[in-house]
Structure 1
Amino acid sequence: MFEPIVDPVARDRSTKFPLDGLTFDMSSMPQKTLIAHGKAAPVLHSLGGVQIVRLSRSLILKSGTSVLASEGETMRYVMAACPEVRLPKVYRYFNVDSPSSYFGVEGYIVMDYVEGRSLDSCWDQLSQEAQKDVVTQVAAMVNQLQSIYSDSPGVIHGGISRGMWFSDYGAGPFPTKAVFEKWINWKLALSKHLKQAAAEVPDISYGRFVLTHGDLSPRNLILDADNQLWLIDWGCAGFYPPIFEAATLKHQVQFRSFTQLLLPLIYNNIAEMTQLESCSYGINRVVFSLPPEMPEAGVTDYYRRKTVETVENQEIYSKK
């Protein structure tokens, strides 16, 4: 497994960060200036197409070819809709063109720095009582997220769905429930045809779509000094059937004790789990086979268009 790049200076209390001591309006700072500050900032975490740097004592910048501005939109939506879910406050987000990357853009998100320990670094050291408290907090956040409904599936404000159940390349977008169900049943049919799913698994029909995080794992949870949990990394979030959250949790490969404690506390319908797992081969091994009603998505062109829309339409929070 690849190890992230981490600069210890980024967590050193004596470090002077690029924006410390400056008076600035985050909403009007030119993108090039913000990006330059990011390049000068020490790295909190860098792995693959994601880099997080420390802009100041209170701000971080998340960026990279695997980062999309839609994650910032999602976080802002969650903060407004789910007050009991603790997540960093977002101040600005945008995409810039990046022709060589898969999505055709590189995303930038400015948000609060949350002081604390990543749960993956301390889970095994916690007492059983502390572990139970942690999963109770996570379950409460999941249950509040799943109290928010939508008639349409997918990323908030539109986009390519990402995460374990949408392949390494993403899938969609899914403008309607009908399109989503066409896609998932196509993947089920492929799995059956290739003898990777039981023939008797029934076709899938979902009654509702709820807000899901899409990547529940100790690496995406921060435990602060008051033992309160913060949920980070919202790049896979959106409106999906509730079973998707449990299925992603079930199949995470690390921290099995975390999964075993949390899974019984969130929505987990066994029949729906079996149906979704039966689609896995079609989703992940026959990635680009799509139903005739669903033409292949122009991922790069889609996000280049969204780059312009995001800059024109987003409401930006200022921090001075």
Structure 2
Amino acid sequence: MSDLTDQTNERKLESAAALSLSKPVNNTRFRRFLVLASIKIVKHFRRNNGVLNISSGICVKYGQLKTLAEASAMKFIGEHTSIPVPKTYCSFVHKGRTYIVMEMIRGDYMGRGWVYRTPESKARIHSQLRDMIAEMRRLVPTTSRIANVDGGILLDGRIMGPMQFGPFENTNEFHRYLRGGLHEHSSKYPEGVNELIDWHDGPWPAPPVFTHGDLSSLNILADGDKVVGIVDWETAGCIPPIGSIRQRCTSIRETCFGRKRLTNSWIQYPPRKLWRRFGKDTLGIAEPRSTLPKPTTTW
């Protein structure tokens, strides 16, 4: 029975990978063999939190919840911007697990020692990040849909509901999903819900913009005062501009950046606060999850 369940789960995961519309990168039999063999040997000797260093300067990110879209996003950003992202060497799906072999960027995550930085040091970091975000926002969207970089499903464990969702044909459809399907006014809703529906329903003339989706201090690597890497692009995609992003019900929680927000980068409505106001007892929605990655210093 267990084997049958495992096979069913594998088929579901492989189907989800197929629906993502993302294609493998440099997916050859020889590369797959090298990657799988390296993991089998190295994982017994090195710590592994889903990212494993398999050689000098190369690591592999793998697991059932990883997607080929992350490799596509890094490749897209690397080819069209000056934003420092890991170079993708190959990616593929094997037995329901996605494997992304990429460059390992050496640096400290931004949360480390942030409170000890001088105002000048913080200003230099902020300036670089503002420029990077502005450059990303200037990209021509890869799709007119609310979707990942390849036009497929989005991934975000912080949004209430399934971790994988979409794509959506337009902004209103995306907003309706965020509201749990609510699309008509009702006197039974708590204060503010009807106003939210009105605001969500537009108009929204601006096209989707490409966004990282989880730009916290845990996903920004620095060497001194220089930003050397932006990592964890699994939640990246084309979504509505900043006004809509604020209603995405995601949260970076508390980072060592403190309360200061960068323009077009931080999300301002923590999901647990929204849940307490419009929560399970009133709208029948479950308490949101949080899947913040553990701190790491190398990728």
Normalised TM-score (structure 1): 0.64
**Cα distance, 1:72–1:168 mapped onto 2, change above 3 Å:** farther
* Residue in 2 that maps onto 1:14: none
Amino acid at match of 1:199: N
Alignment map for 1:110-259 (pairs within 5 Å): 110-150=101-141, 151-163=144-156, 166-167=159-160, 169-177=162-170, 179-184=173-178, 187=181, 189=183, 194-195=189-190, 197-201=192-196, 202-204=198-200, 205=202, 206=204, 207-224=206-223, 227-243=226-242, 251-255=251-255, 258=257
> Is 2:94 the partner of 1:96?
yes
Structure 1 equivalent of residue 65 of structure 2 = 66
| Pair 227,247 (structure 1): closer, same or farther in 2 beyond 3 Å | farther
SS of match in other structure, 1:121: coil
Q: Count the aligned residue pairs.
A: 245
Q: Secondary structure at the match of 1:169?
A: coil
Determine if contact 2:51/2:61 at 8 Å carries over to the other structure: yes
SS at match of 1:40: helix
Structure 1 unaligned blocks of 5 or more:
1-24, 98-104, 288-320
Structure 2 gaps of 5+ residues are 1-25, 287-299
Contact 2:216-2:252 at 8 Å conserved across structures: yes
Structure-2 change in CA distance of 1:175 and 1:269 (3 Å): closer
Deviation at 1:40, TM superposition (A): 2.3
The 1:78–1:198 alpha-carbon spacing in structure 2 relative to 1, beyond 3 Å, is same
Going by fraction, where is helix more abundant, 1 or 2?
1
- Corresponding letter in the other structure for 1:252: I
Distance (whole Å) between structure 2 residues aligned to residue 252 and residue 71 of structure 1: 19
What is the identity percentage for the equivalent residue pairs of Structure 1 and Structure 2?
19
The answer (yes or no) to whether the contact 1:246–1:266 under 8 Å persists in 2 is: no
Q: Secondary structure at the match of 1:95?
A: strand
CA distance in 1, matches of 2:155, 2:80: 22
Query: What is the distance in 2 between the residues matched to 1:162 and 1:212?
Result: 13
Change (3 A) 1:131 1:267: closer
- 1:221 Cα deviation from its structure 2 partner: 0.9
Per mean C-alpha deviation after superposition, the further-off stretch among 114-123 and 86-95 is 114-123
Q: Which moved more, 1:88-97 or 1:162-171?
A: 162-171
SS in 1 for 2:195: coil
Q: Distance in 2 between matches of 1:145 and 1:134?
A: 17
Q: Distance in 1 between matches of 2:248 and 2:228?
A: 20
Partner amino acid for 1:183?
Y
Aligned ranges 1:41-56 → 2 under 5 Å: 41=42, 42-43=45-46, 45-46=48-49, 51-56=50-55
Question: In the superposition, relative to structure 1, how do residues 126 and 29 fare at CA in structure 2: closer, same or farther (>3 Å)?
Answer: farther
Pairwise CA RMSD: 3.7
Match of 1:87 among 74, 85, 88: 85
